[in-house]
Amino acid sequence: MCLEGIAVDLHSFYCYFTGMRFSVRHIIYPEGDKQEIDHSLTINQLVDINGGPLPASSIQPRMISYRVGKISTQSLRNEEITNYHLELVRREELEEIMRSGD
């Protein structure tokens, strides 16, 4: 949400009368935890533990990395919610990516 607590009602009121729509993006970890991010991702993109894009040149085998496995969207009255569902990338896969990048 853009605003918290009591301000949410004012936010909804403002959005209703101005016709504004907000975009919200979340990463959904395999365990079900959710975190808001401020950028878009693509299918099969590798990301770090905070959802930041992970360039192939910075991949390390002992790094916790995720792959975007699914993207879902939900339209509510005043906002568009995009959920990026993450899959944990195993160490063997990271090592293979490192070898193929050389």
According to the model, what pLDDT value does residue 56 have? Answer: 80
Read off the pTM. Answer: 0.76
Compute the distance between CA of residue 96 and CA of residue 48 in angstroms, rounded to an integer.
Answer: 17
Domain boundaries, the chain: 22-101
Residues of the chain with pLDDT under 70: 1-19, 101-102
According to the model, what pLDDT value does residue 76 have? Answer: 87
Mean pLDDT, the chain, integer: 83
According to the model, what pLDDT value does residue 62 have? Answer: 87
Which residues, including other chains, have CB under 8 Å from residue 2's CB and lie 6 or more apart?
11, 22
